[in-house]
């Protein structure tokens, strides 16, 4: 598989097909060009750009979108392109094997209701990648080759990112959820993860294929 990191939390994975994860309003719509399937971790706009999904569905009515059942009402206007996914479920999307994890968004504040969130382990015959959405859910039943680690958000502290990487023990890790950070702030956070995560860690520019 070829993984391309787009702005913030969007990933494009090319292999037998084209799978896009979390095309949100902060990410480039070009990530969806030629997409066969889309995975949505949760309903927040930085992970789900409804206008971009509408455009993709118009260009390719065969595209499939997979998301938690709580997200499906937001996709109802696009016909029957969406499929509900539950934590623990395994399914095929764009030629990849996908397993969903988690179930809840990380806590922002006690006064803000928590919403559904899924992490996804995406695999082909050779390797896999895990992206957690807005959570630190650890996929404890597998070995992760490539991990995407949230770097900055209202719902997290950097120590949680470090402990998440340590718990998953991936072969390599890359920054995710990074659009709100300044360049200086990113360098500070990256330095801590490079030293403390226990794995090879990198923060790549949008458009980088790894």
pLDDT tens figures, 85-128: 999 999 999 999 999 999 999 999 999 999 999 999 999 999 99
Is the CATH code 3.30.460.10 the one for domain 2-209? no
Residue 121 confidence (pLDDT): 98
Query: Rounded to whole angstroms, how far apart are CA atoms 115 and 43?
Result: 8
At 140, the pLDDT band (50, 70, 90 cuts) reads very high
At 186, the pLDDT band (50, 70, 90 cuts) reads very high
Q: Are strands 128-131 and 146-150 parallel, antiparallel or unpaired?
A: parallel
Query: Largest Cα–Cα distance in the chain?
Result: 47
Q: Which residue has the tokens 């990648």?
A: 129
* Element spanning 11, H or E: strand 11-14
pLDDT tens figures, 35-70: 999 999 999 999 999 999 999 999 999 999 999 999
Cα-only R_g, the chain: 16
24, pLDDT greater than 90:
yes
Residue 79 confidence (pLDDT): 84
Average pLDDT, the chain: 97
């Amino acid at each position: 598989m070829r993984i391309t990191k787009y702005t913030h939390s969007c990933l494009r994975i090319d292999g037998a097909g084209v799978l896009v994860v979390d095309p949100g309003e902060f990410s480039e719509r070009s990530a969806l060009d030629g997409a066969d399937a889309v995975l949505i971790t949760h309903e927040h706009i930085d992970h789900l750009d409804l206008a971009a999904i509408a455009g993709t569905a118009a260009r390719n009515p065969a595209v499939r979108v997979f998301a938690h059942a709580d997200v499906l009402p937001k996709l109802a206007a696009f016909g029957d392109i969406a499929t509900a996914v539950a934590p623990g479920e395994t399914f095929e999307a764009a030629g990849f094997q996908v397993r969903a994890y988690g179930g809840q968004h990380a806590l922002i504040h006690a006064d803000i209701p928590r919403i559904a969130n899924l992490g996804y382990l995406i695999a082909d015959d050779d390797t896999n990648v895990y992206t957690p959405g807005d959570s630190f859910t650890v996929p404890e039943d597998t070995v992760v080759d490539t991990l995407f680690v949230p770097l900055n958000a209202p719902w997290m502290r950097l120590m949680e990112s470090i402990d998440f990487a340590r718990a998953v023990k991936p072969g390599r890790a890359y920054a995710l959820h990074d659009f709100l950070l300044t360049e200086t702030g990113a360098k500070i956070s990256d330095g801590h993860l490079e030293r403390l995560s226990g794995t090879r860690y990198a923060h790549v520019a949008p458009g980088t294929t790894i």
